[in-house]
Structure 1
């Protein structure tokens, strides 16, 4: 919306007076405004539902309508329609220039950045054997932390853009409120024009035209009949002009919800941006910080558990070794230098050896005695043989 269009929104308190000051478009500048919903559902006579001040203006304006001024009838209400045309153009230009796509792209970029750090990366999981061997756990935490810090810086820059966009939208909401009030003024001004025209039209049909017909009939003057026809034609043109003004008023009626719709859209965007700045972004940062802290705590606990487990295992092994050594030592201390069983076995072996020796000796003596007897027999036999040889 350019500066010329914005001028339509200035001095809104004088819009009604400016429009009504020149009802027949002779000269001057003007703007327009809207009307309340009650006036839209009017009874048969619009003038009866106008506010008291506007009703008085309508009657004053109706008295200024001159059937003999054909040019005035053509221009009746055109300045209000002209201002309405400028207003509609300004509003259309504003809507065309209102590119919410940029804000949508900023919010979309924000959502991408919020999803950049995957929740799965922040999940506290037990490290694998390879991770523990090659020290990947701490490396992963540092990578996630670095990614978070980079993403956080980008989100901060997006937050600044969102804040600027929010301020622009708030400014537009204020400007649209002025547009709404201006449209309301145009609506009320058109109601006065239409009410004045209806008052004059009613006067023409109920008083002026019947009076002219009566005068023409009484005088039978052809010029009087022409005056009647001229007045009927004027009334018809006035009726058509009122129809055009009613169409213009319909534009103001439709403009009111359109302006409110744009305002509501801007308000929704402002609330979305505000929610992102003061709620979503801090909540995201807090949750990520908490998740990273919990991961550090988990790994610290895991390390402590590992130390405790190693210590406990060492203590158990030492205790088991101490128990074994103590028992073995006690057993050895209680044993004699030579076991009784060993002595028994040795004695048994010794007795068995002695018995075996005695047996062998006995067998030897027996064999020697037998050998002696054999030797004696052999000697005696030899001696006998020798004697026999000598005798021969």
Structure 2
């Protein structure tokens, strides 16, 4: 302390500060002895010392509060939340192709594996960038948590120091009002001298001013009490955010990637099964067609093998044609003979007519 006296704090604790409960204001025996010793050194007649009583620790508390506020002010946890939401958005955008999740892609056309890989690579690149930024925030939050631990210990130290100042001040007020002030009042009453009366009034006024100073220290100590749970709340927020970042990096993203590997594997298996099914269907179709062709060829071969060199229908047709031809030939020959006989008769008649005519000329 820098108030003209030397006083060091003991090893006390601010109980339940992380939950916001009131601290244990009871001092240890050693601290009570220190407060009593310090109370004996306080001079209420020294207005400067009274004015500066506890001012040092109050100044440290003010600087400390500003530092704590600056730590909170410069921390943008909202951006971390936006980044975490960004991971979810990337995964949701990746999966929105189908309403039924990763495996909904399997209802698409033959190029769906290529499209799936392209979307995976795009999503993975975006998520990797986000994760790099999150890891940077994670490291900063871990540093902040360590700083907050030191700030908590420092706040506890200020609390104990203020408690000793307050205990010493109250001890001084108690001793002054119970011993020194009654003596001056008694003396003033007995002597009736103005200076004695004024001395009693001055001491009472000094006690009033010092009591206000002690009360100010109590207000400052209350700030220290309130600061403790505030530090823990901020620290808890940092820790929760670190855990969320850690969970996203080591759980969410790897799980998504493993599901993608499974999805691609299943799709490859589905395509292989489809190809095998098509081969099997084609094989069955070929077997059916070949069996049908073999049946037709066998029947035709058996039918042809059972046929004679010339079909009976052909022989019947050719025989009928031959008979018809012979009939026609015989008919033609008969007609020819008849025509020749008629011609011979006509020739004979002509010849007779000619001979008769010639005989007429000779006469």
Q: CA deviation at 1:220?
A: 3.2
Deviates more, 1:109-118 or 1:247-256: 109-118
Taking structure 2 as the reference length, what is the TM-score of the superposition? 0.74
8 Å CA contact retained: 1:77, 1:193: yes
Match of 1:300 in 2: 272
Match of 1:205 in 2: 177
Equivalent of 1:108 in 78, 85, 96: 85
Match of 1:316 in 2: 288
Equivalent of 1:146 in 118, 135, 139: 118
Instruction: State how far apart, in whole Å, the 2-side matches of 1:99 and 1:124 are.
Output: 38
Runs of 4+ in structure 1 deviating by more than 4 angstroms, as ranges, are: 38-43, 323-339
- Residue 53 (1) aligns with residue 30 (2): yes
User: Gaps spanning 5+ residues in structure 2: where?
Assistant: 317-363
Q: CA deviation at 1:334?
A: 7.6
Instruction: State how far apart, in whole Å, the 2-side matches of 1:338 and 1:228 are.
Output: 163
Q: CA deviation at 1:112?
A: 2.6
Instruction: State how far apart, in whole Å, the 1-side matches of 2:240 and 2:107 are.
Output: 44
Instruction: State how far apart, in whole Å, the 2-side matches of 1:270 and 1:126 are.
Output: 39
Instruction: State how far apart, in whole Å, the 2-side matches of 1:150 and 1:212 are.
Output: 88
Q: CA deviation at 1:53?
A: 3.1
Q: CA deviation at 1:61?
A: 1.3
- C-alpha RMSD of the superposition: 3.2
Instruction: State how far apart, in whole Å, the 1-side matches of 2:106 and 2:198 are.
Output: 102
8 Å CA contact retained: 1:187, 1:252: yes
Instruction: State how far apart, in whole Å, the 2-side matches of 1:90 and 1:42 are.
Output: 22
Q: CA deviation at 1:307?
A: 0.7
Match of 2:65 in 1: 88
Structure 1 residues 169 and 327, CA gap change in structure 2 (3 angstroms): same
Instruction: State how far apart, in whole Å, the 1-side matches of 2:307 and 2:178 are.
Output: 148
Structure 1 residues 34 and 258, CA gap change in structure 2 (3 angstroms): farther
Equivalent of 1:217 in 172, 189, 192: 189
- Residue 23 (1) aligns with residue 30 (2): no
**1:64-111 deviation digits (Å, cap 9, x = unpaired):** 111221221111111111111111111112211112233233323322
Instruction: State how far apart, in whole Å, the 1-side matches of 2:180 and 2:131 are.
Output: 71
Structure 1 residues 166 and 42, CA gap change in structure 2 (3 angstroms): closer
Secondary structure at 1:117 match in 2: helix
Taking structure 1 as the reference length, what is the TM-score of the superposition? 0.69
User: Gaps spanning 5+ residues in structure 1: where?
Assistant: 1-18, 132-136, 347-392
Instruction: State how far apart, in whole Å, the 2-side matches of 1:205 and 1:334 are.
Output: 147
Aligned pairs, number: 306
- Residue 162 (1) aligns with residue 134 (2): yes
